[in-house]
Amino acid sequence: MSVLNNRAQQELTVPERKAKRIKRNAKQSTDYLIQALTSSLRAIWQSDEPQDVLDALGTDAKELFELNTNALTFLFNELAGKRDDDLAIIMELTELIKPHTINEDGTVTVD
């Protein structure tokens, strides 16, 4: 058959479809984590009054900070050498984080 003829795309086997879905899910999960994390960092640290946002988070702030820290660690490890442009954006945002204290009651205060 000539390359100039329309060829139907080859049907993937069930294992190939599953593998394709797993790869797509990994990329989409990473994309979403990047978006969610950068959105959260901007919402707090690019705010005119970060303390107001932290106060609104209340005693959930500590847990959210811990989740963000874990997400940052994961992304730093996984994006390095693979998605350096995304990693650079995240690193720039982390530079906006002001010194802060995580209080025993779960609240966070800007120092």
Cα torsion through 26, 28, 29, 33, rounded to 10 = 140
Contact 68, 37 (CB under 8 A): yes
Q: Given this model, what pLDDT does residue 87 score?
A: 94
The domain spans of the chain are 14-110
Residue type, 57: L
Q: Given this model, what pLDDT does residue 36 score?
A: 95
Contact 62, 108 (CB under 8 A): yes
Question: Rounded to an integer, what distance in angstroms lies between the CA atom of residue 80 and that of residue 85?
Answer: 9
Question: Rounded to an integer, what distance in angstroms lies between the CA atom of residue 12 and that of residue 17?
Answer: 6
Reported residue count of the chain is: 111
Q: Given this model, what pLDDT does residue 7 score?
A: 62
Q: Given this model, what pLDDT does residue 5 score?
A: 66
pLDDT tens for each residue of the chain, 111 residues long = 565 666 666 788 999 999 999 999 999 999 999 999 999 999 999 999 999 999 999 999 999 999 999 999 999 999 999 999 999 999 999 999 999 999 999 999 999
